[in-house]
Amino acid sequence: MADIIKLLPDHVANQIAAGEVVQRPASVVKELLENAIDAGSTSIKLIVKDSGKALIQVVDNGVGMSETDARLSFERHATSKISTAQDLFNLNTKGFRGEALASIAAIAHVDMQTRTENNEVGTHIKIEGSKIVAQEAVATPKGTSIAVKNLFFNIPARRNFLKSNQVELRHITDEFHRVALVHPDIEFHFYNNGSEIFNLPRAKHRQRIVHVFGSRMDERLVPVTEETEVVKVTGFICKPEFAKKSRGEQFFFANNRFIKSPYLHHAVVSAFEGLIKSDMYPGYFLFLDVDPSSIDINIHPTKTEVKFDDENTMYAILRSTIKHSLGQFNVAPVLDFEHDPNMDTPYAFKGKEAVLPHVTVDSSFNPFQETTENTKHTDSYRKVSAKGWENLYEGLDKEADVEAFSSLIIESEEQVQGSIYSEDESQEHLASTFQLRRKYVVSTVKSGMLVIHQNRAHERILFEKFLSEITVKEGVSQQLLFPLELSFNKQELGILKEIQESLTNIGFAFESLEEETVKVTGVPLMVPESGIGTVLDRLISDYKEGFSEGSFSQAEVLSKALSKNLAIKTGEHLDQESQLALVNNLFACKEPTLSPSQKLTYTIISEGDIDKKFN
């Protein structure tokens, strides 16, 4: 039998390795930013075009590379970070495998310019698909500039799997946040299609968080500090009242590296037990400093999943540290049975002295003096003539002109109403429809018993309603008496601008979308005025997660998010008319069987199944 095992060519091996390292443009951004930080940079610029599909460029002022190092950096397993296997257990840098640049060069056009401080001229290298097409000396500033163009140009199948520009830009922004938050001593600039998105000066950790997520984040942060022999914990947690329905600002950093740890996340959530609802998620920015030999960061190609030697101790320390911070800064509730709230001074009057009231009396006032035009009380006491009061009732004794109303037409909007019952059966089933445990609506049909999940059914009804309004642009808006001002960070504001047209079609009205401030002047009829901010917050987070999960259209994702937030929840009481309306509206839908999240909305228990229970 002939030999069938062969060695792969280098360019094929590089493309296969690129599949593990480079999954999307955000992966390139992560690798290039980490290399710039390892080079000792104090200023880093990130420039992207078309959400990284056309261009990703990182410019730093680090130590740079010599001509030999510049060419060798694109070879596989070429690295300056480690020399022996033992070095893997004492890592203090971001990159160490030596596969990043080689993998990127295998699937893109790479243009690199670099110069060290001691050299007068730098090196310019052009690579296309792992092949060096040009290398020459060039005048360039100290540091390194790497431009990655036409990502996945030689792997069109991988390029076709990329999401829309908005989704890819969101992933790039997430990677930028993860790097910028942990390095506040480095100045960062982020540009997309020529416009500046972030300009982050050097600052402390708290200031960097505020610069990234907006000024309203400052009031939410509670500092966390604890130092033990196992780990040093620093950072901030968000106050319990600012917990969100979806995962928001949740960041773990171990030895200045962003990590994902469901186990440690559970420690944080358990520390908030009793302060937030079970379906809410707290925000946190936690920095863990541990012995490099006690952590393994080489268990996954993305290096975000790590393994600690003693996770149980880390869990206990982290949980108790957060509980201590919540109590130390009076965030956790405290019971004081000797405290009398009636004796508290109102906050607005603290530090103020008591002011005696002064009564002013007009000594010249005489109530018995007749008022004349010369007195100063004339305007207040002038008599009003009642002459001609009979004219107010003129014409009331005449018969109303009935013919004047002959041409009056009452306009009504024709709506298609669906019903599972006929008109004769509606009144009969109105009395037989009832709510079970405030979760299900139960009624009878010819084949047996109908059981409807009220939350999922209402989600389906609202989903098709909002989807139709976005498409047809016929949403009804309820204007607010006073415009409502809400604050959002740059990323949230970008999402609002992206979906503004669809929101307007549903019924939202915006006066302005300025930096970190949004003025809302109108909302859909179903949105209460007191819950506008909550609905928009949840809508942004749900939209962000929904768009990253699948290839749905913007209208579908937006309608799904709105229906999820505004639908009747389990536990809400429905009167009989509302129950019947829910049943009829559900079966008027195009797809009444499934909710927008593809879950069953109703089931029918046949009479035969009921009879079997009594056999």
Query: For the segment 133-146, what is each residue's pLDDT rounded down to a tens digit?
Result: 999 999 999 999 99
Give the pair of three-digit tokens for residue 56. 């990703």
pTM beyond 0.75, yes or no = no
pLDDT at 348 over 70: no
Mean pLDDT of 464-491: 85
Tell me, what's the pLDDT at 299?
A: 63
Question: Residue 483: in which H helix or E strand, if any?
Answer: strand 477-487
Q: Between these two residues, 199 and 547, which has the higher pLDDT value?
A: 199
Domains and CATH numbers, the chain: 10-200 (3.30.565.10), 205-328 (3.30.230.10), 423-604 (3.30.1370.100)
Query: Is 441 in contact with 429 (CB distance < 8 Å)?
Result: no
For the stretch 433-444, pLDDT in tens is 889 999 999 998
Mean pLDDT of 602-615: 89
Q: Between these two residues, 526 and 313, which has the higher pLDDT value?
A: 313
Mean pLDDT of 156-178: 87
For the stretch 88-136, pLDDT in tens is 556 666 665 557 888 899 889 999 999 999 999 999 999 998 888 999 9
pLDDT at 322 over 60: yes
Q: Between these two residues, 584 and 475, which has the higher pLDDT value?
A: 584
Mean pLDDT of 445-460: 92
pLDDT at 402 over 70: no
Cα angle at 446 between 442 and 450, to 5 degrees? Answer: 20
pLDDT at 57 over 50: yes
Q: Between these two residues, 396 and 192, which has the higher pLDDT value?
A: 192
Mean pLDDT of 579-600: 92
DSSP string, 69-137: HHHHTTSTT--SS-SSGGGGGS--SS--SS-HHHHHHHSSEEEEEEE-SS-SSEEEEEEETTEEEEEEE
Least confident of 245-249, 309-313, 480-484, 516-520: 245-249
For the chain, the average pLDDT equals 82
pLDDT at 405 over 70: no
Nearest-10 Cα torsion for 571, 576, 580, 581: -70
Confidence of residue 290 (pLDDT cuts 50, 70, 90): very high
Least confident of 53-62, 194-203, 221-230, 365-374: 365-374
Give the pair of three-digit tokens for residue 282. 């707290």
Confidence of residue 314 (pLDDT cuts 50, 70, 90): very high
Mean pLDDT of 161-173: 86
Q: Between these two residues, 412 and 351, which has the higher pLDDT value?
A: 351
Q: Between these two residues, 84 and 46, which has the higher pLDDT value?
A: 46
Nearest-10 Cα torsion for 419, 420, 426, 431: -120
**Strands 43-49 and 187-192: what pairing?**
parallel
Q: What is the C-alpha to C-alpha distance for residues 606 and 481, in angstroms, rounded to an integer?
A: 52
To the nearest 10 degrees (0 to 180), the angle between helices 554-566 and 532-549 is: 140
For the stretch 559-571, pLDDT in tens is 888 898 889 999 9
